[in-house]
Chains A and B, each alone.
Chain A
């Protein structure tokens, strides 16, 4: 009877929609676009404009389609217009700039097209927000799976949870809760509006209660997570880094960390002789040249915070090329690479990629350090013998300038070194100025704080470097100033750890620098670095403060091997040279007392043997405990330093007589390896073994195939769960995170399945409920009612739907009894009599009622085969129709 009524469209209603439907969606997309941009570094161009164009496009399209514009006409027109503009832009001459404009325009056009589409769907499709949220969740998870690098550098759990999943879930809940009632709001009646506001308030209360409850419930585990993930909290959002916090970072393995080794002030004390790590850095300049130890960089500080009086790295760092993974959280032999660091380093001239092996001893495995600009990190195994001393090792790759040798940066009078340095200064003299350098970057890296002290430093710098024209000359001028001698031939500046007050911070602040520069002229590395930073910046040379390790060449016995003791914690500056990138300069004067004193030390007798073969695969059979051999099927692995990926899975026999078997928890026995277990088998290139030598010209795959079986395996690592079929990427994901993504996925999936289940089970649940009610009713009137409802429900579910203008009695007579001849009409008469009179039913009627329910069920059901009956009982739409109330009186059109 009722006529489907078109929705009324009024401006106040539109405003409500914009506020309660569009605004949340735009907000979600704001978050999502930010997230998407961060995880896809390719399209970082102007995320603000993306967000803005998306928001405006969506709002406009919502309004347009709210007023029933024809989508099939307007949308193609939009696409065509966008395409024409695009083609037009391509025609405009112009080289590089134009290319960028076109790329940006493309991005804008795609964003806009999407925004309009989403606006349309939001305006027209009632259930769209739900679908949308699910799609976003899926995209989030795909991005996450796709981009392990990104998510291991920053904290995965927090990032995904707080940045994407929580917002999307909130949005979903909000839409489910609000959208429907908003769309049903046809007229702006005060009652309805208050109802809606009440609903909103209820939603907020529920959500906050939910958060609170979850928080309370999860508090212990959250704390655990906090402890595990706490360190990365700062960088996860790319925000400001509290350097003090970083220095005090509490490693969870009880080893020395930045907190200890950055105590540059006391690094000559008794506690300063601990071996933190040693590194193998092959000479990359040339075999006959100087050995080239390079300073090991840990992090940079880029600006001076006058409020806290300390150096900081703030969130505004342009082209931040810091690569700061947590090595201990990367799975063994997995490589974490962030090549964007190379791009952000902005220097390719005379640069090359250099590999460096770092063996951790006392240093916390949470901390990463590497020469120059690192971009890759891969934990590697340490051969059994060495593991006692070096529990952890990693292979890093750095983008290193040939100009960046420690000898090049040593601030010393040594004539040989000075000569060596001069050659390189000549190269750098080609850089005359920073005119072609990005203005914003230059500003950032040459800005000093305001204040009399900084002015006086600037004045001093200008005085020192009044003759210097090129940046390198300015640097040399500053260096020479620190090396200058007074009329008695005594150096003006001396190295001293005994300066300042006891509670002065490690890294010199402005006050300490004033004392250093203008009064005492005594200090240690951070004094020199800090002072030269301000001086060079005053001279317009982009400079940053670098903290890391001084590399001392003691490599007489083992060429290329360097030892790092805790007293080698150091600070110096890096200066940017266009095309050459950031180069190290150490302004600290030689410590005349102790430069030579640290004796060459506990040099290991032999280099740790390196793994020549690492195969990752599945045990083909249980380990043969008699022959002590193990059959392993594998496809991927590492051959010397090269990854290989065989075309077909190979089965190798490994001799595991001396192999150490272990899993994540600890040592295991050989017999515990079973067929199907995922294993990683490692063989070290021990001199006593017959192992193939690496041949540079041949592919790693071919060389692996040449290996003679049985291969002697030195280590077998069993993976926790046999993961036969899971793709490699997923395995990686699993191991990467302490937080198991699979648990989350299973949880979400399980929940979804449960929802679907409930959805389809709903009719059956209703049926059982009515049945139970009918069986347990106490008074005859109740009993009659529930039998009546039960019967009505069942017939409805069997497909007999009562029309809106049909009474129950008519329904019984015209539909039920016509189809099933079950005598429902007679029952209905008795029921109606009981219902509308106060007379108690007589015994005959009572009997009829109690007889009715089972009898009719049997009759009605008997007509359908089981599968049809099941199908009918899965039809939730029918149940819905049965339970729904008639619509409000709608205004007829």
Chain B
């Protein structure tokens, strides 16, 4: 990981300089997960969605809340950013998400009551505990950025970011997300346990962490984020990096141990994420390290492997080979 975000850098005026404030802010709550925080922000800047998967109690929800808190809630001028959280349960219905028509006594008509989806940042907690019907309702919104009810189509806000969390699919009482739906998530990240020191830190400062509302204040505005999203699209990406991405995508299709390789869409998503990640690292160009850091979180959940061993090694082999090429590559000029 490229650690370029030092607190001193946060004094700049450009939105990109405020990223440091954002990461610092989340860092107050989420200890020792610098890279994961960056991933989440990358997904946000790439206009994508992110899926956090880990055992219960590893800080998924806290993470989402901290992010939401940092950019929503307060009124620092500009547009207000909404944050909603839905706890998914098996008996949840699609209308609980998107809203429903309610009879209005006064108007003598059914009026549409907007559900929690009409927001900017959505925390979909334990997404795999809901029934597939609900899951697909959510995923449609994520993909289309709009909701269709009857003959009316409601447009969601152009800043719509979903942080879904899920428990590992092996656990009981879950409805695993099908591959097609997983594909809609730009990234799937795993938290894992924090380091021993970080754990100690968490215990010591539990009170601060627990009171997120007090600890975290809004640091970014709606305009900051849309501005950065636009900036991310302008990050320079070298032809050789694009070729690297192509090679990796093709590598997954050729690899004897991968049953289903990466799609072209996943390649496009990969490039978007690379740009955003470069920006998160305060660069306006993509380097080979970005590929290394993103290849697993962006591609791994889209692939179907022939066996467990391959799931652990195959993608790594492909990426290593390509990175080695890039590392030794001489770009003339």
Contact = CB atoms under 8 A, between A and B. Distances in A.
Q: Do A and B bind each other?
A: yes
Nearest to A786: B330
Contact of A807 (B256, B289, B310): B289
B333 interface: yes
Contact of A891 (B256, B324, B327, B329): B256
Interface centre among B238, B254, B289, B314 (most CB of A within 10 A): B289
Interface stretch (A95-103, A254-262, A381-389, A834-842): A834-842
B92 to A, nearest CB: 41
Interface stretch (B13-21, B136-144, B280-288): B280-288
B62 to A, nearest CB: 29
B168 interface: no
B324 A886 contact: yes
A172 B240 CA distance: 42
B316 A809 contact: no
A782 interface: yes
A684 to B, nearest CB: 80
A60 interface: no
Given A807-B289, A807-B292, A837 B236 contact: yes
Given A781-B331, A832-B287, A832-B288, A804 B320 contact: yes
A346 to B, nearest CB: 70
Contacts of B309: 3, 892-893
Nearest to A810: B289
Interface string B69-105: 0000000000000000000000000000000000000
B286 A836 contact: yes
Interface in A122-147: none
Nearest to B240: A836
Contact of A809 (B2, B256, B257, B320): B2
A787 to B, nearest CB: 12
A800 to B, nearest CB: 15
B323 interface: yes
Interface residues of B, number: 36
Given A782-B332, A835-B331, A837-B285, A807 B323 contact: yes
Interface in B248-299: 251, 254-257, 283, 285-289, 292
Interface in B226-252: 236, 238, 240-241, 251
Given A807-B288, A832-B288, A836-B287, A892 B314 contact: yes
Contact of B257 (A810, A837, A885, A892): A892
B321 interface: yes
B8 interface: no
Contacts of A832: 287-289
Contacts of A1: 313, 316-317, 320
A885 B324 CA distance: 8
Contact of B320 (A3, A789, A805, A833): A805
B288 A892 contact: no
B291 to A, nearest CB: 9
Given A889-B256, A889-B317, A809 B287 contact: yes
A779 B330 CA distance: 12
Contacts of B2: 809
Contacts of A809: 2, 287-289
B328 to A, nearest CB: 8
B241 A836 contact: yes
Contacts of B156: none
Nearest to B318: A889
A620 interface: no
A808 B288 contact: yes
A832 B285 CA distance: 9
Residue from B236, B255, B314, B330 having most chain A Cβ neighbours under 10 A: B330
Nearest to A825: B2
B71 to A, nearest CB: 29
A690 interface: no
A892 B312 CA distance: 11
Contacts of B328: 789
A857 interface: no
Contacts of B307: 892
Interface string B107-136: 000000000000000000000000000000
A2 interface: yes
Contacts of A836: 236, 238, 240-241, 285-288, 331
A113 to B, nearest CB: 42
Contacts of A893: 309
B232 to A, nearest CB: 16
A835 B309 CA distance: 35
A796 B280 CA distance: 31
Interface string A782-826: 100100010000000000000011011110000000000000000
Nearest to A882: B328
Nearest to B278: A836
Contact of A781 (B323, B327, B332): B332
B321 A886 contact: yes
B331 A785 contact: yes
B240 to A, nearest CB: 7
A886 B236 CA distance: 28
Nearest to B291: A807
Nearest to A808: B327
Nearest to B307: A892
Nearest to A891: B256
B330 to A, nearest CB: 5
A889 B292 contact: no
A39 B137 CA distance: 91
A892 B310 contact: yes
Contacts of B251: 889
A785 B332 CA distance: 9
Contacts of B317: 1-2, 889
3 smallest A-B Cβ distances: which pairs?
A781-B333, A836-B238, A837-B285
Interface of B: 2, 236, 238, 240-241, 251, 254-257, 283, 285-289, 292, 307, 309-310, 313-314, 316-318, 320-321, 323-324, 327-333
Given A807-B323, A836-B241, 15 more contacts: A1-B320, A3-B313, A781-B331, A782-B330, A807-B327, A809-B287, A810-B289, A810-B292, A836-B288, A837-B236, A837-B285, A838-B333, A889-B251, A889-B256, A892-B314
7 contacts: A789-B328, A807-B289, A809-B288, A836-B240, A886-B321, A889-B254, A892-B307
